[in-house]
Chains A and B, each alone.
Chain A
Amino acid sequence: MTQPRLSFLLPLLAFITLAAVGATALYGTLTGSRTPDQLPSVLIGTQAPQTPLPSLDQSGSGAPVDLGRFRGAPVLVNFFASWCAPCRAEAPALEMLSDRVKIVGIAYKDRANDTMSFLEQYGNPFAAIGMDVDGRTGIEWGVYGVPETYVIDADGTVKYRHAGPLTREVIDQRLMPLIEGGGS
């Protein structure tokens, strides 16, 4: 027999194709370019939602938190809650980031008293804190679980969304380039 038969070649070809698809996916996951645990955010490339939020203010007389106030420089928006364990884990990371960039905190479905004791215990890295008591602002942003962190550029455009606690890789490879690059 000089030529391999089709019935042999075809399954082999199918297998090679499948293996190639699998290998590509695995490679992407290992190198961090593919993140199957992250849902893509629809907001990226669009203007960040501007709905003003009641402020968590120690004096109790704060003006509503408005993202527009932070135009002109990149800003991080961090959804957190006192009832959220991973938020405690990422508190040191946010503390470190707060030296480099302004962070707006949005307390998601939390009570003001609980939020305040959370901040007392784990530190307050936020330039401003808005209260999203019923979670509607979360829905507006497409939040599907706290913590979530958004990078907003100087023009108010959403550049990046990370769901889950911030890790060293995410900060170094994703957040910092966007912040240092002026966020645009």
Chain B
Amino acid sequence: MTVITAVIRGLVMLFPTIMMVSMPPAARAITAEEMLADPALETRARTLSKQLRCLVCQNQSIDDSDADLARDLRREVRTQILTGADDQTILIQLRAKYGDYVLLNPPVDRATLALWFAPVAFIALGGLLVLAARRQKQAAPAILDPEDRERVDRLMRQRRQKGRPKR
């Protein structure tokens, strides 16, 4: 027993190390020469890059992606920042070329209403169903309608007749 507890305790203590070893190092797509000299501008570029979809890999931001197009878009973002464009303008300009799809946060409009609000609607629907089920359980036992009542009576009679012991 004591051996087992010791092993478990050891594993728990080692857990952070095990996690660090088994996890891949954070992907760093961006290279040093891409970065802007001004740290404040570079931070803006990184924040913007995280909001933009790489259209080749489609499930990565251009900040994460190693694709050529992602690198070109990162450069585009930085070029625009250097010319003094603000964040909103840069996003709008890229959206004008690649569409809403380039934004990892799709804007709320008629086409994306379901996307944004369906989860809320489904949770509400589920809640209603649970409530309804509960109420049904608490409700008084259902009264049989006359037709069913008669059927039950008939079955019971038949049973009694069949089961009657012979003399």
Judged by a CB distance under 8 angstroms, whether A85 is at the interface is: no
Contact of B68 among A40, A41, A42, A109 (CB under 8 A): A109
Interfacial residues of chain B within 75-120, with CB under 8 A of chain A in the complex: 76, 95-99, 101
- Decide: A42 and B72 in contact? CB cutoff 8 A: no
Contact with B along A8-25 (1 / 0, CB 8 A): 001000000000000000
* B56 contacts partner chain A, Cβ-Cβ < 8 Å: yes
Interface residues on A, range: 10 to 19
- A27 is an interface residue with CB less than 8 A from chain B: no
15 A-B pairs within 8 Å (CB atoms) are namely A7-B133, A39-B98, A39-B99, A39-B101, A40-B99, A41-B99, A42-B99, A109-B68, A138-B72, A139-B72, A139-B97, A142-B99, A144-B56, A144-B69, A145-B69
B48 beta carbon closer than 8 Å to chain A:
no
Q: Contacting B98 at CB < 8 Å: which of A10, A135, A144?
A: A144
Among A7, A41, A42, A43, the one with the most B-chain Cβ atoms within 10 Å of its Cβ is A42
Q: Does B45 contact A (CB under 8 A)?
A: no
A39 B72 Cβ-Cβ under 8 A: no
- In the complex, besides A42-B98, A135-B68, A145-B55, 12 extra interface pairs with C-beta distance below 8 angstroms are A7-B133, A39-B98, A39-B99, A40-B99, A42-B95, A109-B68, A136-B72, A142-B98, A142-B99, A144-B56, A144-B69, A145-B56
Residues of chain A within 8 A (CB-CB) of B76 are: 136, 139
Asked if A140 CB lies within 8 Å of chain B CBs, one says yes
Chain A's closest residue to B102 (CB) is: A142
Residues 80-117 of chain A: 1 if any B CB is under 8 Å from the residue's CB, otherwise 0? 00000000000000000000000000000100000000
Distance A141 CA – B76 CA, assembled complex (angstroms):
14
A: residues with CB less than 8 A from B are 7, 10, 39-43, 109, 134-136, 138-142, 144-145
Q: How many contacts between A and B, using CB within 8 angstroms?
A: 39
Grouping DSSP codes into helix (H, G, I), strand (E, B) and loop, the A interface class, with mixed when no group exceeds half, is loop
Which A residues touch B56, using CB under 8 A? 144-145
Task: Kindly state the separation between the CA atoms of A114 and B95 in the bound complex, as whole angstroms.
Answer: 32
With a cutoff of 8 Å between Cβ atoms, the chain A residues found around residue B73 in the complex are 139
| Residue contact B55 to A141, C-beta cutoff 8 Å | no
CB distance from B132 to the nearest CB of A (A): 8
Q: How far is the CB of A71 from chain B (nearest CB, A)?
A: 23
Complex CA distance for A109 and B68, rounded to whole angstroms = 10
Q: How far in angstroms is the closest Cβ of chain A from B9?
A: 48
Chain A residues with Cβ under 8 A from B96's Cβ? 42
B99: chain A residues within 8 A (beta carbon): 39-42, 142
Please name all residues of chain A whose beta carbon is closer than 8 Å to the beta carbon of B101 when the two chains form the complex.
Answer: 39-40
Cross-chain contact A135 with B72 (CB below 8 angstroms): yes
Residue of B nearest to A134 (CB): B72
A135 cross-chain contacts in B, Cβ below 8 A: 68-69, 72
**Chain B's nearest CB lies how many Å from the CB of A138?**
8
In the complex, chain B residues whose CB is within 8 Å of the CB of A134: 72
Q: Which residue of A lies closest to B55 (CB)?
A: A144
A175 CB to closest chain B CB (Å) equals: 22
**Which residue of B has the minimal Cβ distance to A7?**
B133
The minimal Cβ–Cβ distance linking A40 to chain B, given in whole angstroms, is: 6
